[in-house]
Amino acid sequence: MLTFNLNPDLSVPLYSQLYSAIRNALERGEITAGERLPSKRELASHLKISVVTVENAYSQLCAEGYIHSKPGSGFYAEKVQSRLSSENVTPPCIDDEPAGESYRYDFGTNRADTDFFPFSSWAKLSREVLSSQSEELLNSCSPFGTRELREQIAAYLKSFRGMNVHPNQIVVGAGSEYLTGLIIQLLGRETVYGIENPGYSKIQRIFDRNCGGIVPIPMDENGADISRVFSEADVFHITPSHHFPLGTVMPVSRRQEILGMVYSEKNKYIIEDDYDSEFRFSGRPVPTMQSMDTGGRVIYINTFTKTLAPSMRISYMVLPPQLVGEYRRKLGFYACTVPVFEQFTLAEFIRQGFFDRHISRMKKLYRRKRDAFLSIAENWKSADISGEDSGLHFLIHIKNGMGEQQLVKTAQEQGIRLHGLSEYYWADRNSAPDSHIVIGYSGMTENEIKEGAELAGKVWHL
């Protein structure tokens, strides 16, 4: 008869101890396949435990397939291989991701200033949303996002961007990267995409991983020059409001030309990425292509990650009315990826005017930061600045005879991080104009920016 040491003083229940003991005996081959186990009553009296305890252990072993019962006959062992018991194995050791280097002056472009985030307003609204304890907060919302948030986004787009958008055209999702993935699924995975070159490297990588092919769109002084690759791609991802990293704003004639080309063929589309249009420092915001599009060929995409905080993964896209039905049919089964709590909080944040006020404050803050750099750079003799009217970065052409690599390296040696323009060319890198540096200033204080700029001016002998 099977004999095991069971200890009623342990925190592990007796049935569970018995289960483990029998399982181990099976795995060690002490009980062999086909062998009949003692009846529940026999084993209980042998081990001086209750029949219920044995019953629980046996039924767990049955559930996991270690033994099976034959009605009227008893319990029989299954064939099992021995295995490492995971319970006493130490977890694998996996190194942390290597941390990025840290610089005294970081003119990298990927940072945001979060000091001005209106924490107390956000916290107050969150509290109000949570204290409503409404059932709506717990159940899943429409795959497009909550009605409340989509209405607020539509109202915001109307007053801020002059766009006439129905809330049913809007899809809310956890970041532009995620929404881009949905667009690829919507338009078909064999579709070929034109991507701006130079451009934001993540965009290129997302398309490269997921679509039928990518084609670089060359840039000129009017922005993306789609005419040169029009026949090679089906859909064009562009940033007409403010190109990254060149800073180009696409003039209306180019926008009209592109729409005209797209209308001339079936099934060609534009993805208009309006990612930092909120931060235009002079005049009114430039109108979107979405608002010029009478043919239903522009998918507009924007994010709250840049305007609120990088930790907040809320983006949205505006589908042309013509694609809404197809989206519902093809992708309507995907649940919305943004927590409903956050959507309600953000909707109130916009509705009560906090978002507008936050953008105005950030615009002033970022303009001061930009001006801090410019106040130093205006004394530089051989440097041309461009693209400084909007967005959170601009371009400097340094004409001191140094090449891009040398500019970046000499700055780096002094603790200044900055990127050369050629780093943003994902194709045809040699075509990048030499000696151009991309300056992002959003992540530093005004003083740090001035110090960093002064130091760069010294290093580069400007």
Site string for a second copy, 217-236 (x = CB under 8 A): -----x--------------
Q: Does 309 bind a second copy (CB under 8 A)?
A: yes
Query: Which residue from 32, 50, 227, 256 is in contact with a second copy, where contact means CB under 8 A?
Result: 256
CA distance 161 to 290: 10
Output the smallest distance, CB 87 to a second copy, in A.
5
CB-based contacts of 430: which residues, under 8 Å, 6+ apart?
none
DSSP type of residue 178 = H
Closest CA to 109 of 31, 187, 199: 199
Which of 178/410 has CB closer to a second copy?
Answer: 178
Site for a second copy in 104-123 (CB under 8 A): 112, 114, 117, 119, 122-123
From 44-52, 166-174, 267-275, 367-375, span contacting a second copy (CB under 8 A): 166-174
Q: Within positions 335 to 354, which residues make up the interface with a second copy, using CB under 8 A? A: 335-342
Instruction: Determine the length of the chain.
Output: 462
Question: Would you state the structure tokens that stand for residue 344, as one six-digit string?
Answer: 């309600």
Residues that bind a second copy (rule: CB under 8 A) add up to a total of 110
Helices marked H in 378-415: 404-413
102-to-105, 108, 153, 439 alpha-carbon distances in Å: 9, 11, 37, 17
Q: Which of 29, 213, 295, 310 binds a second copy (CB under 8 A)?
A: 310
Per-residue x/- marks for a second copy, 367-406, CB under 8 A?
----------------------x-----------------
CB of 76 to a second copy, least distance (A): 13
What does the angle CA 152 – CA 113 – CA 341 come to, to the nearest 5 degrees? 35
Instruction: Show contacts with a second copy in window 175-204 (CB under 8 A).
Output: 175, 177-178, 181, 185, 189, 201-202
> Residue 57 or residue 456: which is nearer to a second copy going by CB?
57
Our CB check for a second copy shows the closer of 314 and 456 to be: 314
C-alpha–C-alpha distance, residues 93 and 72, integer Å: 50
Binding characters for a second copy, 54-73, by CB under 8 A (x = yes):
--x--xx--xxxx-------
Report the residue from 5, 7, 97, 101 that binds a second copy according to the rule CB under 8 A.
97
Among 46, 160, 218, 330, binds a second copy (CB under 8 A): 330
Question: Least distance from C-beta 39 to a second copy, angstroms?
Answer: 19
Question: Which residue stretch of 36-44, 129-137, 363-371, 414-422 sits at the interface with a second copy (rule: CB under 8 A)?
Answer: 129-137
138 near a second copy, judged by CB under 8 A? yes
Of 18, 149, 238, 250, the one binding a second copy (CB under 8 A) is 250
User: Rule CB under 8 A: is residue 159 a binding residue for a second copy?
Assistant: no
83 binds a second copy (CB under 8 A): yes
Q: How far apart are CA 209 and CA 212, in angstroms?
A: 9
Q: Is the dihedral of CA 401, 407, 409, 411 positive or negative?
A: positive
Measured between alpha carbons, how far is 104 from 415 in angstroms, rounded to an integer?
A: 5
Q: If we measure between CA atoms, which residue out of 441, 314, 316 comes closest to residue 370?
A: 441
CA distance 225 to 217: 6
Q: Does 254 participate in binding a second copy (rule CB under 8 A)?
A: yes
264 binds a second copy (CB under 8 A): no
* Binding test (CB under 8 A) with a second copy, winner from 53, 109, 152, 169: 169
Of the candidate residues 36, 166, 368, 461, the single one contacting a second copy (CB under 8 A): 166
Token pair of 399, please?
A: 């004409």
Q: Which is nearer to a second copy, 435 or 443 (CB)?
A: 443
Q: What angle separates helix 147-161 from helix 340-351, to the nearest 10 degrees?
A: 40
Distance CA 15, CA 76 (A): 18
Q: Specify whether the CB–CB gap between 172 and 144 falls below 8 A.
A: yes
* Dist. CA 456–CA 407, nearest whole Å: 9
Residues 397-456 that bind a second copy (CB under 8 A): none
Instruction: Provide the strand spans (E) within 33-183.
Output: 67-70, 74-77, 105-106, 170-173
CA distances to 23, 62, 194, 365 from 35, in Å: 14, 14, 67, 78
By CB under 8 A, which span of 2-10, 158-166, 400-408, 445-453 interacts with a second copy?
158-166
Among 8, 71, 72, 91, indicate the residue that binds a second copy (CB under 8 A): 91
Q: Is 1 in the site for a second copy (CB under 8 A)?
A: no
Q: How far is the CB of 164 from a second copy (least distance, A)?
A: 4
> Whose Cβ is closer to a second copy: residue 222's or residue 406's?
222
Cβ-proximal residues to 40 (8 Å cutoff; 6+ apart), any chain: 51, 54, 55, 58
Q: What angle is formed at CA 258 by the lines to CA 254 and CA 262, rounded to 5 degrees?
A: 170
- The encoded tokens of residue 156 equal 């915001």
